[in-house]
Amino acid sequence: MEDLLKQHFNQVDLDIRKQTSGYSRFLDQKVTPDVLSFIADCIVNFLGGKDAGTTFVVGNIWEFPYFIKNTVAVFGNNYWKNDLLFRGYLRKNSVRAKQYAELKTELAEKHADDRGTYTKNKEQFINETLEMAKQELK
């Protein structure tokens, strides 16, 4: 396992100081050994059972169920708790899910070249939906 990790990390440049501003999520502090170990574990689990030629890229991790589940369990990260709550609510409430799909389509057309405005304009809907989901849990 150690050789596999060394081989992988020798092939990629993971120096977060080289990333463009605003690119890295949740890196408002220095990476600690527990975080590094956690990310390495997620990468190994992602690659497990795949072809030897499979390449891991940072985008793979954000939708990887193992990463999401364990981020919530290990770090108690509200981003993922809210993401799971929001997604779960939409899955159970097709009317609200349709409204969200329509909003996203409208905003994508209106703000095709401005991802920040597109995202900002979804916030109210998302926050209202999260409140509905939290009320449903009570």
Question: What is the tens place of the pLDDT at every residue in 100-119?
Answer: 999 999 999 999 888 889 88
17-74: pLDDT as tens digits: 555 554 445 444 456 777 788 888 988 888 887 888 888 888 888 888 888 888 877 7
Amino acid at 21: S
Residues contacting 75, CB < 8 A, separation 6+: 38
Structure tokens at 93: 């409430």
pLDDT at 123 over 50: yes
Q: How confident is the model at residue 133 (pLDDT cuts 50, 70, 90)?
A: very high
In the chain, the percentage of residues whose pLDDT exceeds 70 is 85
pLDDT of residue 108: 92
Is 46 in contact with 66 (CB distance < 8 Å)?
A: yes
Cα–Cα distance for residue pair 112/5, rounded to 1 Å: 39
In a 10 Å sphere around its CB, with 0-12 CB exposed, 13-18 middle and 19+ buried, how is residue 133 labelled? buried
